[in-house]
Structure 1
Amino acid sequence: MRDLAGPLKGLLILWMAGAAAIHLYFGGFGFPEPITMRGFHLLVFVPPLFLLYPAFARSPKHRPSLFDWLWALAAAAPHAWVMWNWDVVSDRMEYVDPFTPTMAVLAVLAIVTLLEATRRAVEVGLAWMVLISLAYMRWGHHLPGVLNSRPFTLDEILEAAWLVPTAGGVYGPLTGIVATTIAVFIVFGGFMQGSGTGRLFSNLGAAAAGRYTGGPAKVAVVTSGLFGTMSGSSVSNVITTGAMTIPLMIRIGYRPAIAGGIESAASVGGALMPPVMGAAAFVMAEITGIPYGEIVVAAAIGAVLYYFAILAAVHFEAKQAGIAPMPPSEIPPWREVLQDAHLVIPIAVLVWLMMDRWSGNFAAFCATLAMVAVAAIRARTRMSWRAVLDSLASAGLTMAPLAVSIAGAGIVVSALTATGMVVALGGIIKDLAAGSFPLLLVLLAVAVLVLGMGLPTTPSYIIAAAIGVPQILELGSQALGLSPAELLLPAHLFIFYFAVLADASPPVAAAAFAAAAIAKASPLITSNHATRFGIAGFTVGFAFLYDPGIMLRGGLSGIILATLIQVAALTAICAGYAGYLLRPMGVAARCLLGVAGLVAAFYHGVPDLLRLGLVALALGLVAVPQWLRSR
């Protein structure tokens, strides 16, 4: 980012603060027409990126060039046109009404400027992904087999990428989510930072766990998980808690991308953690007719295993990176922590409103106002007008890169939808599985992750369940010897887990992208780390179908055995990846633990005791010599 000075810096601060304030106002008093809101969101956040971020390393670092101003004007034109002609856009029939030459020119401007803004402010890999998606629409009809798509004209490609707000594209549902709920949560996160809540979390983490290796990061994991089970939105959770936890983890020594990955994995897992589990779990109860209490009980062990794996990975990562406990002089006394304790009240307000089924944007709006009011109780947390302005500007600067990231992801989703790849997945998966139940599950997992690139967890789960659950019930009854009724809940939990994990899995991961914006790290690298920290979601997802003990079904011995297999397997996988168990490990030991953990977690073709014995033996072969050496 450029180091601007003078009037331009002040103007951009006011611009970003004003844009964030308007989003906050809409969150409390109602949003305009969806297409108007989405156009406004991109209008206020895309053009400033060309002034804030240089085009190349040799570009001016303290002022934008003439070409940057031209880029900004070009970026503003299509979104201003959409806002001015919102009724035309809303009323037109997609792919039926004429796509005029004016629309075509504006579509090119919107796509090109988004690609350039993404390249500058976010990640060049995401820009390439968007280009490949558009190229697939243009030339996909030349590809063989299942990759073959129908021919698209240039106008159809431009319309799908830009002006089909119901299915994807620049103004699709992804941009709508960011422009409404997520934007207000980002503002709340900005006020949390400005009020001193970050200091409270930092002091609390240091006081509670600063004496232990990676302790503050472990507190961050638990905090994100607890809040996530209430909020039900992984991205909102990343923004709210990540504004505090990510800088804390970076400060104690974690690399930015790793800190973002930890926060993403922990925030995503909130939707897996009883007692709330997000909106999708309530939908599951409605679809299956299974009481919600039974779903919560069945999901309990899996959720605990998910967070066990993150904590284990955090511990091994800290040991391997040499992140030492904090010096006693830097650990604050508890009386200092309690001086900021009143700042948890706005967070409690947010949680209470969301548990009471108020909309997320209204809950975040009320919590933001409560933050200003509660912070005024004590002089050390009282927010001046400058602190309020800085909080709004900080929120705006966080929103801008996220806006172009999600708009680019919308183009990718639109291309997948228009080419028929998403709709055809059910038939393709069934043909590719060729009667193999394990292969069917792998293909369904991939399909759900693809769906999750462009849809929130709940609609992604609904669509994937409609495609995948009947196939699981059909093949699973034969492969596992269970009735469809016995397989119903495991099948839905399998789909549900991967719908949740999609928010943190590459290539398009909304939660990881949000965390990367806070950490100022690469979104793709951050999402890769989020995936490996959330590895338990993958192992537990398959265990729902193969290890019923995970769902508290069967006798006590079966429940204990299934849990021990997962604990041992996840320990081995996390240690192998980090390269540390009791001491740093070489390549051979890492491979041994990684392979043994993966086999124990995913290979269900052998007896359970053999799987447990295999991974326990591998852990023993590595741990015992390390323990003797340390003695």
Structure 2
Amino acid sequence: MRELSGWLRGAVTLWLAGWAAVHLYFGGFGFPEPIGMRSLHLLVFTPPLFLLYPAFASGASSDRPTILDWAWAIASAVPHLWVFVNAGAVADRMEYVDEFTTTMIVLGVTCIVTMLEAIRRAVEPGLAWMVAGCLLYMFVGHHLPGVLNTRVFTTPEIIESAWLVPTAGGIYGPLTGIVATTIAVFILFGAFMQGSGTGRLFSNLGAVAAGRYSGGPAKVAVITSGLFGTMSGSSVSNVITTGAMTIPLMVKVGYRPAVAGGIESAASVGGALMPPVMGAAAFVMAEITNIPYGDIIVAAAIGAVLYYFTILAAVHFEAKRAGMEPMPLSEIPAWREVLADVHLVLPIGVLVYLMMERWSGNYAAFCATLAMVAVSLLRARTRMGWRAILSSLEAAGLTMAPLAVSIAGAGVVVSALTATGMVVAFGGIIKELADGNLGLLLVLVALTVLVLGLGIPTTPSYIIAAAIGVPAILELGRPLGVDMLQAHMFTFYFAVIADATPPVAAAAFAAAAIAKSGPTITSVHATRFGIAGFTVGFAFIYDPGIMLRGGIVEIVTATSIQVAALTLITSSYAGFLLRPMGVPLRAALGIVGLAAAFAHVMPDWQRLLLAVGMLAAVAAWQQFGAARHRTA
């Protein structure tokens, strides 16, 4: 991203901050009608991307956009401005029936091309290629054989489906709607949390809670990244924010750079799983499923804790095995430093309360944001003046802009897959390969999400995979009582952890840059530390107790199974429980852990006894061996 200077820097700052403030106002007092709101959102946040992001990396050093950048920015604004001015007519027109004029064709092509270029520059080239590929498929699909064959689409039909069909998908579809409304206000809440000093609170709390223990910096990274995830929901943002502090500390106490980067990226990825402010994909889930967001964060809570428990256990075992030291006492803040900022948790409580009371997400986030500003005034060290407020608004705008175009691109992909029937075809292919086996189907859907994660961000990959895989999961899972929320939570978890899995892992690549290690080996370590994402994802389907469903016995049993199984698995790959272990014992622990997590043909009580019994037996054996060694 360019570092703008002079009057242009001030103008872009005021533009982004001003429109972010407008979105906050809308969150509290009501939004314009849908097509007007969606076109306005893209109108104000797409053009700045061409000024902030150069066409090529070599241009990042320049602090001034080129004439071509300005031309792209102006061209990107024109179609959205036309739709905003004519919002009433666009909303009233009959899709595919009313005339799609030459003017509309020109504006539609301009909108699509500029959106693709904005995605390529500011988000991910892979997503731009996927969107372009889907549109190309609509042009040539009728020439392809077999399941890939489609009906003939005319050029106006293709442009209209991608651009001006707001009810079904495309650039102004429901996905853009949820980003322009609820997600935008939650992004503002996260930015104000950061601006008020809540990040300092989380950092200090992590250091105080874990810094005094073996491998302290790594545990601090895990706790801090999880807390930061409640603010941003962005794995790369979490890595950059917390990794700059935690990765050098981990290397300093003895972790290899690639391992330190892997720990940080695995922990940062999990931020999108952490209630109450999960990633943008969780809000999209609420929109797609019509399930209240409050229900989603309740269902996700235990799974998020299990994810971070597993990373902490893995870090602990590795630190013990390597004999690593805690953080130096001089670098651990005193409790009074934590307590000096503790009042900043009150707005988070406001948010959770309003969400649990079933207030709308955007209004809850609006109230929590105002509460954050008010609460920050209680102490001088957290007080938000006008500069801090302006900086928070600008930070929110900088986050909203790339997300706006990436979600618009995902809307085009969904529209193309729906219009061509590929959603049904892909779902049919996966179902046919699964041959009626739900477990195999889940593996195939998980692999689909991980493959999508190679080139596109979490939210678009979740949207596309949910459109393809969720209907098949619901069909084959009907005998087990699998419902909509379970199927979507399964898909969501794999979309999140795809950010840390090789060969292309955005979070791991960002951590590798800080750690000065190889990106691929860093992503391998991130995957092994984030192994809980794989087991917990399947548990949403087979052990719904972790979603707080059923009685207390079912919830405690399901959670205990996962805790014991994940402890076995992490102990196995770390090679340590109470003492270092040889290969045979590590293999035995790993096999029993996988059996406890995935052998759903066994009754729950047997899986729990198997996992707990194995842990107890190995712990007793190692304890007995240590005592015998001391006696000798």
TM, length-normalised to structure 1: 0.75
Give the whole-Å Cα distance in 2 for the aligned partners of 1:284 and 1:312.
34
Give the whole-Å Cα distance in 2 for the aligned partners of 1:28 and 1:426.
40
Contact 1:190 1:395 (C-alpha < 8 Å) held by counterparts: yes
Q: Which residue of 1 aligns with 2:219?
A: 215
Q: Partner letter of residue 6 of structure 2?
A: G
Tell me how far 1:222 sits from its aligned partner.
5.9
Q: Which residue of 1 aligns with 2:371?
A: 370
Q: How many aligned residue pairs are there?
A: 589
Give the whole-Å Cα distance in 1 for the aligned partners of 2:336 and 2:443.
52
Q: Which residue of 2 aligns with 1:501?
A: 493
For residues 242-263 of structure 1, give each alpha carbon's deviation from its aligned partner in whole angstroms, at most 9, with x where no partner exists.
9789723442118789756534
Tell me how far 1:443 sits from its aligned partner.
5.0
Give the whole-Å Cα distance in 1 for the aligned partners of 2:157 and 2:100.
8
Tell me how far 1:497 sits from its aligned partner.
3.2
Q: Which residue of 1 aligns with 2:273?
A: 268
Give the whole-Å Cα distance in 1 for the aligned partners of 2:192 and 2:555.
45
The 1:414–1:4 alpha-carbon spacing in structure 2 relative to 1, beyond 3 Å, is same
The 1:172–1:258 alpha-carbon spacing in structure 2 relative to 1, beyond 3 Å, is farther
Tell me how far 1:47 sits from its aligned partner.
0.6
Q: Which residue of 2 aligns with 1:477?
A: none
The correspondence of residues 69-108 of structure 1 with structure 2, limited to 5 A, is 69-108=70-109
Q: Which residue of 2 aligns with 1:32?
A: 32
For residues 372-399 of structure 1, give each alpha carbon's deviation from its aligned partner in whole angstroms, at most 9, with x where no partner exists.
2221222222222112111111111111
The 1:540–1:48 alpha-carbon spacing in structure 2 relative to 1, beyond 3 Å, is closer
Q: Which 10-residue stretch deviates more, 423-432 or 8-17?
A: 423-432
Give the whole-Å Cα distance in 2 for the aligned partners of 1:49 and 1:135.
25
Contact 1:130 1:409 (C-alpha < 8 Å) held by counterparts: yes
Give the whole-Å Cα distance in 2 for the aligned partners of 1:333 and 1:201.
13
Give the whole-Å Cα distance in 2 for the aligned partners of 1:243 and 1:571.
29
Q: Which residue of 2 aligns with 1:479?
A: none
Q: Partner letter of residue 394 of structure 1?
A: A
The correspondence of residues 100-499 of structure 1 with structure 2, limited to 5 A, is 100-212=101-213, 213=216, 214-220=218-224, 223=227, 238=233, 247-253=241-247, 259=264, 262-268=267-273, 270=275, 305-312=306-313, 325-423=326-424, 428-442=429-443, 468-473=473-478, 487-488=480-481, 494-499=486-491
Q: Which residue of 1 aligns with 2:455?
A: none
For residues 35-55 of structure 1, give each alpha carbon's deviation from its aligned partner in whole angstroms, at most 9, with x where no partner exists.
111111111111111111111
Q: Which residue of 1 aligns with 2:2?
A: 2
After superposition, the CA RMSD in angstroms is 5.3
Contact 2:494 2:534 (C-alpha < 8 Å) held by counterparts: no
Q: Which residue of 2 aligns with 1:483?
A: none
Contact 1:413 1:453 (C-alpha < 8 Å) held by counterparts: no
For residues 70-119 of structure 1, give each alpha carbon's deviation from its aligned partner in whole angstroms, at most 9, with x where no partner exists.
11111111111111111122111222222222122112211211221122
The 1:18–1:320 alpha-carbon spacing in structure 2 relative to 1, beyond 3 Å, is farther
Q: Which residue of 1 aligns with 2:257?
A: none
Give the whole-Å Cα distance in 1 for the aligned partners of 2:340 and 2:284.
35
Give the whole-Å Cα distance in 2 for the aligned partners of 1:615 and 1:116.
57
Contact 1:197 1:244 (C-alpha < 8 Å) held by counterparts: no
Contact 1:504 1:527 (C-alpha < 8 Å) held by counterparts: no
Give the whole-Å Cα distance in 2 for the aligned partners of 1:382 and 1:108.
48
Q: Partner letter of residue 570 of structure 1?
A: L
Contact 1:215 1:325 (C-alpha < 8 Å) held by counterparts: no
Give the whole-Å Cα distance in 1 for the aligned partners of 2:46 and 2:40.
10
The 1:324–1:124 alpha-carbon spacing in structure 2 relative to 1, beyond 3 Å, is farther
Tell me how far 1:14 sits from its aligned partner.
0.6
Tell me how far 1:7 sits from its aligned partner.
0.6
Give the whole-Å Cα distance in 2 for the aligned partners of 1:346 and 1:242.
25
The 1:78–1:561 alpha-carbon spacing in structure 2 relative to 1, beyond 3 Å, is closer
For residues 428-453 of structure 1, give each alpha carbon's deviation from its aligned partner in whole angstroms, at most 9, with x where no partner exists.
55544434453344456678999x96
The 1:106–1:326 alpha-carbon spacing in structure 2 relative to 1, beyond 3 Å, is farther
Give the whole-Å Cα distance in 1 for the aligned partners of 2:99 and 2:54.
38
Q: Which 10-residue stretch deviates more, 593-602 or 80-89?
A: 593-602
The 1:367–1:606 alpha-carbon spacing in structure 2 relative to 1, beyond 3 Å, is closer
Unaligned runs of 5+ in 1: 228-235, 475-486
Tell me how far 1:346 sits from its aligned partner.
1.8
Contact 1:50 1:68 (C-alpha < 8 Å) held by counterparts: yes
Give the whole-Å Cα distance in 2 for the aligned partners of 1:320 and 1:119.
44
Give the whole-Å Cα distance in 1 for the aligned partners of 2:35 and 2:426.
29
Contact 2:45 2:401 (C-alpha < 8 Å) held by counterparts: yes
Give the whole-Å Cα distance in 2 for the aligned partners of 1:419 and 1:464.
17
Tell me how far 1:10 sits from its aligned partner.
0.7
The 1:172–1:51 alpha-carbon spacing in structure 2 relative to 1, beyond 3 Å, is same
Contact 1:402 1:513 (C-alpha < 8 Å) held by counterparts: no
Q: Partner letter of residue 76 of structure 1?
A: A
Give the whole-Å Cα distance in 1 for the aligned partners of 2:62 and 2:381.
35
The 1:299–1:143 alpha-carbon spacing in structure 2 relative to 1, beyond 3 Å, is same
Q: Partner letter of residue 76 of structure 2?
A: A
Q: Partner letter of residue 26 of structure 1?
A: F
TM, length-normalised to structure 2: 0.75
The 1:68–1:583 alpha-carbon spacing in structure 2 relative to 1, beyond 3 Å, is farther
The 1:544–1:340 alpha-carbon spacing in structure 2 relative to 1, beyond 3 Å, is closer
